[in-house]
Amino acid sequence: MQFIDEAKIRIEAGKGGDGVIAWRREKYVPKGGPDGGNGGHGGDVYFEADPQFSTLLDFRYKREHKAEDGNKGEGSNCTGRSGEDLVLHLPVGTIAREIGTGNVLADLTEPHQRILLAHGGKGGLGNAEFKSSTNQAPRKQTNGKPGEAFDLELELKLLADIALVGFPNAGKSTLISRVSAARPKIADYPFTTLVPNLGIVRAPEEHKSFVMADIPGLIEGASEGKGLGLQFLRHIERSRVLLFLLDGASSEQDPKAAFKILKDELKHYDPLLLKKPSVIVITKADAMPEEDIEKLSRSTIDKRKPLVISAVTGYNVDVLIRKLWSLLTAEKNAT
């Protein structure tokens, strides 16, 4: 399925039905009087967060979404049927902003969360509503009101517990395929990951798990629009813990320099990202001499000791999972 995380749509609630002018006519009732009913209300438009959806693809190709109009009133004081509500199912993590004002009208952060976006129009009044002691035969009715309408910009920000942050070919896809059932494309050239991938990782505690997101690789200048980074940096915003992956076998860039670039890119995009709990990992121990592994394990990056792993052989992967789970539980308890 094609991953789409932006779309522009128009939603419109239903119009209220018109009231009617009608008269009571029965065989043995000489003075029937007015009995025109009111119009039904227009249908509302709701957004609902659906865990079964992971992309905004459907909204890229269908942009007009309208709830049903209310029916007009009928004689015998019968109110018209109200229009059916329209419920649009979107992925968890979707934000809806009004185009023009930028106001956030919906932020779907919880599964099955439902938000009323547009109210349907009220039904018009039939002539029975205007009967009075001074006006026994009103010939007046009102039309239904139009429903609310909005032009919206949808933006999907994936909700994940752990976000993998690293340069292309840092081993992010290999790691997520090792610890979960996710199967992203893996190759020995950069930018094999073109869309975010989510994987469910089994936690050390029984019957517990957490979500890990493989974000397409960043490059220097990503926060200024270079490479693919800027397009997908939004998906890091809602993660609870950042996992920095640094290539220990690269001859082009040492881990300390790589971490500084990654940190600067996140800072330029949103300084609050650096306030998230994080873990620094050096990958590809399987492609490094033993002395380099020991040297990197004793080194410090950002005043912390990195964890050296190999997603290929599984070296220290269990240690990493326990460390991530400990951070997640601590972060959850703090909130």
> Domain segments of the chain: what residues?
1-156, 162-334
pLDDT for 31 = 65
What are the start-end ranges of the E strands in the chain? Answer: 6-12, 45-49, 64-66, 86-90, 94-98, 104-107, 114-118, 149-156, 162-166, 197-202, 209-214, 241-247, 278-283, 307-308
pLDDT for 194 = 47
pLDDT in tens, the chain (335 residues): 456 778 999 999 999 999 999 988 776 655 678 989 999 999 999 999 998 887 888 898 899 999 999 999 998 889 999 999 999 999 888 999 999 999 999 999 899 999 999 999 999 999 999 988 888 889 999 999 999 999 999 988 877 889 899 888 888 888 988 988 766 444 443 444 446 777 889 888 878 888 888 877 665 554 455 444 556 677 788 888 999 999 988 877 789 999 998 998 888 888 999 999 999 999 999 999 999 999 999 999 999 999 999 999 999 999 999 999 999 988 776 65
Q: Length of the chain, please?
A: 335
Residue found by looking up tokens 């419920």 in the block: 87
Please provide the CATH number assigned to the domain covering 1-156: 2.70.210.12
* DSSP label of 321: H
Name residues whose C-beta falls within 8 Å of residue 86's C-beta, 6 or more positions apart in sequence.
11, 13, 43, 44, 45, 46, 65, 66, 67, 68
- Maximum separation of any 2 CA atoms in the chain, in Å: 107
Whether domain 162-334 has CATH 3.90.950.10: the reply is no
